[in-house]
Structure 1
Amino acid sequence: MRDSLRRLLRHRKAAVGGSLLLFFLLLALVGPWFVMDPTDLVGRPHQPPSSAHWFGTTGQGQDVLAQTVVGARETLAVGFAVGALVTLVGALMGVTAGYLGRRVDDVLSLTTNVFLVIPGMPLAIVLGAYLPSGPLRMVAVLTVAGWAWNARVFRAESLALRGRDFVSAAVVTGESHARIVSRELLPNMASLLGSSFIGNTLYAVGAQVGLEFLGLGDVSAVTWGTNLYWAGNDAALLTRSWWIFVPTGMCIALVGFALTLVSSAIDEMTNPALRVHKPAPLPKGTVAPVHVDRPAPGVLLSVQDLSIDYATEKGASRVVDTVSFDLAPGEVFGLAGESGSGKSTIGSALLGLLPSSARITQGRILFNGMDVTALEGAGLRAFRWRQVSMVFQSAMSALNPVLTLGEQFHDTLAAHGRVSRATSYARARELLGMVGLSPDLVTAYPHQLSGGMRQRVGIALALVLEPRLVIMDEPTTALDVVVQKELLQRMVELKQRLGFAILFITHDLPLLLALSDRVGILQGGKLVELNTSEGLRTNARHPYTQLLLSSFPHLIAGDVSVTSHAPVAPEPSVSRPSIRVAAIPGGHR
């Protein structure tokens, strides 16, 4: 928590926004002691700024500077009070509804939806017209009018958290519902609470000023809203007395700007995808034109001295360090290594899927002689899926939950050329049958399928345009051993039938040795060993590889059966090969 606060304070947006807010808070707290009474008539009406009255006088002869400074106190007090109450009420209602579910969720969600249907400002106007005047009325009115949207947001977040293991553990240990909500769920929403509070405070200041400008506040009080109300009544615009309303308007705008900066900073600190990173500079003299080299004989993919850096707050961090390897047509090439070793980053680089914070600083990736790292726009879109496709790690996340399987096949095909829906569905049925699923599933939704079935659909989608290379990035994560065996056996059959190559990325070494022709071992972004599966198992040279193998003492000769050691030309039909997947010891996958 302290580290997050320090990073937030070092954030440029947070620093600027926080400084502005601190200035206005100090102005509201101590400023009134240094100015005259804002209700005193101290000069002639509509006097422009002068040495006696720095901001001029109002239409009734009051000092504008005093009214601006004193008005900050109640305006900001109400704004922050409403921001806190709206966040608290919305969070408690939303989290309680999402966590308890069933009838409680039905009742609270119905209440929330009723308040969402009623426009907030008209509701505030009606309540403000009938409740007793004063700052407490404004707090109550704005809290009632603004809590519902926050409840919807927090309900969605609690639905995502209530299935997590730490919540289940709290239930099993006998913690009460109130304690789970307050001690387990809400602390895990700290960033959402912070950003919601800032956003709600911004809403409160704007709504308060708007209501008071309409005369629905206590017009005898000195606030920024009533300053604008009296400026309108005293015809400040008609008399061109700009100094009466400009200082208050500027203060409101600056407070809104400061709150927006702080909210944006919190979002960026809690969501790395929103951070703005400076791309790592290319080495001097590096040119990245699109060009085609003559590929080496028998080489489909050639990764040459590839280095990839990620931009961080402390500078560039190298995640892939001068990696080189080749992949032949029809070959299964495996990349293994612990989490963070750079294996998935290499796969993403091949398809141009690196995030904005990552940059290739050295080397090339040649596919059939073409430098794919220089592709962009239409060229990159044409390359993806036609030449290289990917089977993603989580099929449930990769598949669109609101579209049928047939529609997702049609979207993929339509993205690469005009095709009728009937043709797309026919192709979908064909491929679903090839991966061992019923062709009738074209009308099914992803949630109607098991994890293994969804992963088979992912494989079918990857083959829809008959690519020459398929990247499989942790394709069997969260699947049991039996389903893994069936899935990979089907993949080998399809490879032999269609003749594509596979880049298999995983940290599951037994699985990799069972499937791959050759294996590369990555450690800290470096390729430390490259060998055939059999050679790696029997004659590993690097200490890191030996350490990985020692984690699986059951890897004896009978446990690994490599089924595709050589590229195989397409055949009309083949017998089903046998893959034996070794059991995985506890703590390893």
Structure 2
Amino acid sequence: MRETIRSLLRHRKAAVGGSILLFFVVLAIVGPWLVMDPSDLVGRPHQPPSAEHLFGTTGQGQDVLAQTVVGARETMAVGFAVGALVTLVGALMGVTAGYLGRRVDDVLSLTTNIFLVIPGLPLAIVLGAYLPSGPLRMVVVLTVAGWAWNARVFRAEALALRNRDFVAAAVVAGESRSRIVARELLPNMASLVGSSFIGNTLYAVGAEVGLEFLGLGDVGSVTWGTNLYWAGNDAALLTRSWWIFVPTGVCIALVGFSLTLLSSAIDELTNPALRAPPAVAPVTASVTAAQTEPLPPGVLLSVRELCIDYATERGRSRVVDSVSFDIAPGEVFGLAGESGSGKSTIGYGLLRLLPPAASISQGRILLGDTDVTALGADALRSFRWAQVSMVFQSAMSALNPVLTLGEQFHDTLAAHGPTTRASSYARARELLAMVGLEPKLVDAWPHQLSGGMRQRVGIALALALQPKLVVMDEPTTALDVVVQKELLQRVLELKSRLGFAVLFITHDLPLLLALADRVGILQGGKLVEVDTAQRIRTEARHPYTRLLLSSFPHLTAADAEGPLPDMALAANERVPARAALRGGHR
């Protein structure tokens, strides 16, 4: 939380928005003591700005500057109070409904829906007619009218969090439901609470000003809304007395602008995908004659001196460093290495699926006569899936949960050329049968399938356009051993039948040595060794490769002579090394 606050203070949008908002907060607190009484008649009506009255006078002869400054206090106080109350009520209602579920969820959701279908303006008029005049009335009216939307948002977030392991651990530890809501769920929604408060404050200021401008507030008080109300009554527009309403309008706009900047800054800080990558000096890749020549016979894919960098606030961070390898037609080429070695980054790089902060800074990816690194957006769209496809690690996340399998096959096929739904479904049935699934599952939903079945669907989708190369990124991580074996046997059968090549990315070295024709070992973004699976098993040359082999005792070849490298000196602990190797997919 402290780090988030520090980042917020360093963020440009947050700094600008916070500075503007702080100015108006100070103005609301201190300003009324520095100006004259805004109700005093101090000059002629409709007097333009002058040295005596910097913002001119109203249609009644009151000082516009005094009314603008004094009006900030109640407007800002009501805005922040409503923002806090709407966020608090919405969060408590939504999180309670989402976490407790069943009857509590039914009752609270029904209450929320009732408030959502009631028009806000009539509700405000009715409440305003029965409540005593004053700022408290406006707070109650806007809170009652605005909390329901927030409850919907927080309920959805609670539904996503309630099945997480830390919530289950709190239940096992004996924490009460109220404590779990207050101490486990709400702190994990800190960014949502912050952005909701900012958004609700913006809503409150706008709604308050609008209602008061319509005469639904206390017209005897001095606020920005009543300033506009009296400007309308005094025919400021008809008399061209722009100075009566422009200062208040500018203040409202600036407060709204500052709150919008703060909300955007919170979104960017809590969701790095929304953050623009820092500007850094570009790295120009040199293209030699050898890189642009046609690939030699027997090579399908050639990766040459590939470098992938991530842009950070401190410059570039290289995660793939000068990696080169070839893949032959029909070959299974494996990439192995511990978590963070760059395996998946290379796989995503082959399809140019890198996140916005990452870029290929050097090197070439050649598939036949196609330089993948030089493809434009349209050419890249045609290249993906038709030439190189991908089987993602999480099959459930890769499949759209609200579309049947048939519709997802249809979308894939329709993206690469004209097709009818009937022909797409026929092709889907053919592909499902090809991977060992019942063709009738074309009408099934992803949640109706087991993990192994969903992964088979992912393979079928990857083969829909008969690509030359299939990238498989940890496709068996979440599957049990029996399902893994069946799935990989099916992949090898399809490879032999259809002739595609496979880039298999995994942390499971025994699996890779049994499956791949050749294996590449990655360490810290560098490809330290490439050889056949048999020679990697029996004649590994690089110390890091021998370390990985030593973490699986039944794979160890002849004991390596000499000491292990520094990274392996943890008392020759094989179990930690093996655990590190299985730690993740990147």
Mapping of residues 83-122 of structure 1, within 5 Å = 83-122=83-122
Instruction: Check whether the contact 1:392–1:473 (CA below 8 A) recurs between aligned residues.
Output: yes
Distance of 1:119 and 1:508 partners within structure 2? 58
Q: Do residues 10 (structure 1) and 6 (structure 2) align?
A: no
- Whether 1:413 aligns to 2:407 is no
Cα distance, 1:556 vs. partner? 5.8
Shift of 1:546: 2.3
Partner of 2:138: 138
1:345-364 correspondence runs (5 A): 345-364=345-364
Does residue 312 of structure 1 match 2:316?
no
Instruction: Tell me the equivalent position of 2:240.
Output: 240
Q: Is the 2:284–2:361 contact (alpha carbons within 8 Å) kept by the matching residues of 1? A: no
Counting only pairs closer than 5 Å after superposition, residues 342-491 of structure 1 correspond to structure 2 as 342-491=342-491
What RMSD, in angstroms, separates the aligned Cα atoms of the two structures?
Answer: 1.8
Change (3 A) 1:277 1:63: same
Range with greater deviation from structure 2 (377-386 or 151-160) = 377-386
| Cα pair 1:125 1:211 within 8 Å, conserved | no
Q: What is the Cα deviation at residue 281 of structure 1?
A: 4.3
Q: Secondary structure at the match of 1:311?
A: strand
Say whether the 8 Å CA contact 1:293–1:370 is kept in structure 2: no
The change in CA–CA distance for 1:285 and 1:494 in structure 2 (over 3 A counts) is closer
Superposed displacement of residue 282, structure 1: 3.8
Q: Partner residue of 1:250?
A: 250
Corresponding position of 1:210: 210
**CA deviation vs aligned residue, 1:301-355 (integer Å, no higher than 9, x gap):** 1100011111112211111111111111111111112222211111111112112
Q: CA deviation at 1:391?
A: 0.4
Deviation of the 1:256 alpha carbon: 0.1
Q: How far 1:41 sits from its partner (Å)?
A: 1.1
3-state SS in 2 of match to 1:554: helix
Letter in 2 for 1:266: I
In 1, Cα distance between equivalents of 2:338 and 2:42: 75
Structure 1 residue matching 2:553: 3-state secondary structure:
coil
1:526 is matched with 526
Structural mapping, 1:13-162, within 5 Å:
13-162=13-162
- Answer whether contact 2:236 2:244 (CA < 8 A) is retained: yes
Instruction: State the secondary structure of the residue aligned to 2:447.
Output: helix
Q: Tell me if the contact between 2:87 and 2:147 (Cα under 8 Å) persists in the aligned partners.
A: yes
- Partners of 1:477 and 1:223 in 2: CA distance: 61
* Letter of the structure 2 residue corresponding to residue 199 of structure 1: G
Q: In 1, distance between residues paired with 2:317 and 2:119?
A: 49
Structure-1 residue corresponding to 2:568:
none
Q: CA separation in 2, counterparts of 1:304 and 1:457? A: 32
| C-alpha contact (below 8 Å) 1:335/1:504 kept by paired residues | yes
CA gap 1:60/1:351 in 2 versus in 1, 3 angstroms = same
- 1:180-214 Cα offsets, whole Å, 9 max, x none, are 00000000000000000000000000000001111
The equivalent of 1:201 in structure 2 is 201
How far, CA to CA, are the matches of 2:477 and 2:485 in structure 1? 12
Offset at residue 587 of structure 1 (A): 7.4
Q: Residue 497 of structure 1 corresponds to which residue in structure 2?
A: 497
Q: Distance in 1 between matches of 2:294 and 2:234?
A: 82
Inter-partner Cα distance in structure 1 for 2:17 and 2:54: 26
Q: Please give the secondary structure, in 1, of the residue aligned with 2:554.
A: coil
2: CA distance between counterparts of 1:128 and 1:511?
A: 71
1:203 and 1:189, CA in 2 relative to 1: closer, same or farther beyond 3 A? same
Residue pairs, 1:168-187, within 5 angstroms: 168-187=168-187
1:294 Cα offset (Å): 1.1
Q: Distance in 1 between matches of 2:371 and 2:279?
A: 20
Question: How far apart are the structure 2 equivalents of 1:587 and 1:113?
Answer: 49
Report the counterpart of residue 571 of structure 1 in structure 2: none
**Is this contact kept in 2: 1:429–1:442, CA < 8 A?**
yes
Structure 1 contact 279–356 (Cα < 8 Å) conserved: no
Rounded to whole Å, the distance in 1 between the matches of 2:202 and 2:125 is: 18
CA contact (8 A) 2:549 2:556 kept: no
Does the 8 Å CA contact 1:392/1:472 hold for their aligned counterparts? yes
**Aligned-partner residue type, residue 191 of structure 2:** S
C-alpha displacement at 1:402, in angstroms?
1.4
Determine if contact 2:339/2:581 at 8 Å carries over to the other structure.
no
- Other structure's SS at 1:57 match: coil
Letter in 2 for 1:491: V
Shift of 1:528: 1.6
- Counterpart position of 1:576: none
In the alignment, is the contact (CA less than 8 A) between 1:468 and 1:499 conserved in 2? yes
Secondary structure at 1:361's aligned position in 2?
A: strand
1:445-485 deviation per Cα after TM superposition (whole angstroms, max 9, x unaligned): 11110111000000001011111100001111211122111
Contact 1:281 1:361 in 2 (8 A): no
Give 1:79's aligned amino acid.
Answer: G
- The Cα of 1:588 is off from its aligned counterpart by 6.0
Alpha-carbon contact 1:452-1:487 (below 8 Å) kept = yes
On the 8 A contact 1:469/1:503 being kept in 2, the answer is: yes
**1:129 CA drift (Å):** 2.7
Distance of aligned partners of 1:144 and 1:180 in 2 relative to their CA distance in 1, 3 Å threshold: same
Alpha-carbon shift at residue 84 of structure 1 (Å):
0.5
Q: Which amino acid aligns with 1:432?
A: L
TM-score by length of 1: 0.93
Letter in 2 for 1:209: V
Alignment deviations for residues 256-279 of structure 1 (CA, whole Å, 9 cap, x no partner): 000000000000001111111246
Secondary structure at the counterpart of residue 95 of structure 1: helix
Deviation at 1:125, TM superposition (A): 2.5
Q: 1:539 to 1:287 in 2, by over 3 A?
A: closer
Question: Counterparts of 1:419 and 1:253 in 2: how far apart (Å)?
Answer: 51
Deviations 1:143-177 (A, max 9, x none): 00000010000001011100100000000111000
The equivalences for 1:273-292 within 5 A come to: 273-278=273-278, 280-284=280-284, 286=286
3-state SS of 1:353 partner: coil
Describe the SS at the equivalent of 1:316: strand
Counterparts of 2:341 and 2:197 in 1: how far apart (Å)?
39
Secondary structure of 2:60's aligned partner: coil
Pairing 1:295–2:312 present: no
| Range that drifts further, 363-372 or 242-251 | 363-372
Q: What's the CA shift for 1:6?
A: 1.1
Q: Distance in 1 between matches of 2:323 and 2:534?
A: 22
For the 8 Å contact 1:280–1:361, the answer to whether it is kept is no
Q: Are the structure 2 counterparts of residues 287 and 274 from structure 1 closer, same or farther at C-alpha, using a change threshold of 3 Å?
A: farther
Whole-Å separation in 1 of the counterparts to 2:29 and 2:203: 22
| Map of 1:225 onto structure 2 | 225
Asked if the contact 1:320/1:342 (under 8 Å) is kept, the reply is yes
Distance change >3 Å, CA 321–CA 378, structure 1 → 2 = same
Q: CA deviation at 1:527?
A: 1.1
CA distance in 1 between counterparts of 2:194 and 2:329 reads 53
TM-fit CA distance, 1:284:
4.8
Structure 1 window deviating more from structure 2 (126-135 vs 95-104): it is 126-135
Give how far 1:126 is off: 2.3
Distance (Å, rounded) in 2 between the aligned partners of 1:75 and 1:260? 17
Q: SS at 1:447's partner residue?
A: helix
Gaps of 5+ in 2: 558-576
Change (3 A) 1:120 1:286: farther
Q: Look up the equivalent residue of 2:122 and give its one-letter code.
A: P
Q: Deviations over 1:505-533 (max 9, x none)?
A: 11222221221111111122111221221
Alpha carbons of structure 1 residues 395 and 384: separation in structure 2 relative to 1, 3 Å = same
TM-score, normalised relative to structure 2: 0.93
Indicate the residue corresponding to 1:567 in structure 2: none
Q: 2: distance between equivalents of 1:288 and 1:282?
A: 19
Cα distance in structure 1, aligned partners of 2:324 and 2:285 = 21
- The answer on 1:322 being equivalent to 2:310 is no
Instruction: Return closer, same or farther for 1:287/1:78 CA change in 2, 3 Å cut-off.
Output: farther
